[in-house]
Amino acid sequence: MSKVFLSVVGVSYLLLAGWCMWQPARTANSLGYELRSGSGQSEYFTVYGGLQLGLGLVFLLPLLRPEALNFSLTACVIVHASLIAVRAISLAVYSGVSGLTWGFAGLELVLFLLSLALWIKLD
């Protein structure tokens, strides 16, 4: 079950990475960003594309190395717990947050809870 979950999460991150890298202006705009030429574009491409690509690969690692299952599941718990903690602060501090952002918050919470449940069951 954990491998299937991580595979779905990993593929989702790879798809998001691809979308952010191939349509950076569109994805940035949907999140409320305005990309500036040069450094702004490079930073968005790298952080949103590259970081999500790396996370996707970490979550897919157990498909190639079954012994990495605990590592990848632990990483999934830590990443999503961190996202929830920082997201909660941002939602408390900033007003005018779009529905898309609230949707990401809900998804991050679900991913955290599922990964935590699987992680606890694994040990």
User: What does the alpha-carbon distance between residue 123 and residue 119 come to, in Å, rounded to a whole number?
Assistant: 7
Q: What does the mean pLDDT of the chain come to?
A: 94
pTM summary value? 0.90
End-to-end CA distance of the chain: 14
Percent helix, strand and coil across the chain, each to the nearest 5: 85, 0, 15
Q: How far from the centroid of its chain's Cα atoms is residue 50's Cα?
A: 11
Give the residue-averaged pLDDT of 47-57: 96
Q: What is the pLDDT of residue 4?
A: 96
Q: Which amino acid is at 122?
A: L
Q: What is the pLDDT of residues 56-81, one digit of tens each?
A: 999 999 999 999 999 999 999 999 99
User: What does the alpha-carbon distance between residue 86 and residue 70 come to, in Å, rounded to a whole number?
Assistant: 24
Give the residue-averaged pLDDT of 94-99: 90
The DSSP symbol for 35 reads P
Per-domain residue ranges of the chain: 2-122
User: What does the alpha-carbon distance between residue 123 and residue 118 come to, in Å, rounded to a whole number?
Assistant: 9
Percent of the chain whose predicted confidence (pLDDT) is above 90? 78
CB 115 within 8 A of CB 77: yes
**Residue 123 in this model has a pLDDT that exceeds 80:** no
Number of other residues whose CB lies within 10 A of the CB of residue 44: 20
